[in-house]
Chains A and B, each alone.
Chain A
């Protein structure tokens, strides 16, 4: 299992891998939105939590179709399916690799980009906490969507349409945590709901994704 994680991370960091794609997108959003909205600090501060969360979500979405499609095309997925590792484990590890490359990286750079968005100082901690709690759900829900569409030629559009509605609760509660944190209010309720979504999808979706892959490999 560790070997699979190391391989996926190595593939992502080598030339042509997915690393940098999501980060660059997130950076572009955080740079361009202030230019488009204008330099007025109060307006930016108000929309910062929402924009940062939407940016992170779309950056995650960008590299989803690579999770299984590349392995499907070169035959690795067939070989992984006949290997000693259960397919559920393969899904979980590949979602973890996706999270390290996108979600974790986004979480770490978010405070820097929040400066561009003029996020109030109180919000920084909650931005990092909410992204850390919420982005694993984005990766594992995305892995489920990728498993459903593996084998579909140009399945990217279908994947986005399938996954976006499932991302909505994470987005709402994630942005709410940052919004309340920035205003100095209690963040307990949305943060717990966010963590609950993540825990639930981590527990259930690898099994659903593995079942979808088994059907798609036939």
Chain B
């Protein structure tokens, strides 16, 4: 199990935002992506998740091994906590919903509708989804938004357990997660020099 990225360039809205990004993660390792707002963290993560094509470079990871945690949690407000998790578990071939709820401290809330959860509780539910997917590579975009200190520590524990079990984690975050073993990658040096390079040209150039 390895995630290897070489010479990757990604674009958003027709402009190349990052180029020459390269790193490798082995089983049990975590990588924290840093960089100022707008540098392209979300774009990079969406490209890794396969939601948009890369401009150039390679991403090598085993197929169907990656799960993406976005800003939005993908929750249905009229379904209960348990129903939301049951759905994602069924889609991914049956993860352990009870264990995921226990890990993210949601067991007491399991029959409550997602509409009636607080922002932090919704986030915990969104993160519990990662556990029921059973996928080894977690690609997370700002996973700790609206979590309190205790929940951040809880989440750090979940990530650590995931790594100990041979998983990988790639996180874009601004705060200290309390994961000293994680590697850091600052994206600022990879900022694209010429935004209109390969793929971004053509149409945009004509109207520049």
Residues of A within 8 A of B (CB): 2-4, 7, 10-11, 14-17, 73-76, 78-85, 217-218
Q: How large is the interface on B (under 10, 10 to 19, 20 to 34, 35 or more residues)?
A: 20 to 34
A75 engages B91 (CB within 8 Å)? no
Chain A residue contacts of B76, Cβ below 8 A: 7, 11, 74, 76
Partner of B78, one of A16, A76, A80, A217: A16
**Distance in angstroms between the alpha carbons of A14 and B78 in the assembled complex:** 7
**Distance in angstroms between the alpha carbons of A74 and B86 in the assembled complex:** 17
Query: B180 interface residue, CB < 8 Å from A?
Result: no
Q: Which of B21-29, B48-56, B96-104 is found at the contact surface with chain A?
A: B48-56
A84 engages B50 (CB within 8 Å)? no
Chain B residue contacts of A76, Cβ below 8 A: 74-76
Can you report 24 residue pairs joining A to B where beta carbons are below 8 Å apart? A4-B87, A7-B83, A7-B87, A11-B76, A11-B78, A15-B78, A16-B78, A17-B78, A74-B72, A74-B73, A76-B74, A78-B51, A79-B68, A79-B129, A81-B51, A82-B50, A82-B66, A83-B91, A83-B92, A83-B133, A84-B91, A85-B91, A218-B51, A218-B52
Chain B residue contacts of A10, Cβ below 8 A: 79, 83
**Distance in angstroms between the alpha carbons of A78 and B64 in the assembled complex:** 15
**Distance in angstroms between the alpha carbons of A16 and B78 in the assembled complex:** 8
Residue picked from B66, B71, B77, most chain A C-beta under 10 Å: B77
Residues of B within 8 A of A (CB): 46, 49-53, 64, 66-68, 70-79, 83, 86-88, 90-93, 129, 133
Chain B residue contacts of A75, Cβ below 8 A: 70-74
Chain B residue contacts of A3, Cβ below 8 A: 86-87, 90-91
Q: Given A3-B90, A11-B76, A82-B51, list of 7 further CB < 8 A pairs?
A: A7-B76, A7-B79, A11-B79, A75-B71, A76-B76, A79-B88, A218-B51
Given contacts A80-B91, A85-B91, contact A74 B52 (CB under 8 A): no
Closest 7 CB pairs of A and B: A75-B72, A3-B90, A76-B74, A75-B74, A218-B52, A14-B78, A79-B74
Given contacts A3-B90, A14-B78, contact A82 B49 (CB under 8 A): yes
Chain B residue contacts of A81, Cβ below 8 A: 50-51
**Distance in angstroms between the alpha carbons of A79 and B74 in the assembled complex:** 7
Chain B residue contacts of A2, Cβ below 8 A: 90
Considering the complex, give the chain B residue whose CB is closest to the CB of A17: B78
Chain A residue contacts of B66, Cβ below 8 A: 82
Nearest CB on B from A208, distance (A): 19
**Distance in angstroms between the alpha carbons of A217 and B72 in the assembled complex:** 14
Given contacts A4-B91, A14-B78, A84-B91, contact A78 B50 (CB under 8 A): no
Partner of A217, one of B52, B67, B77, B79: B52
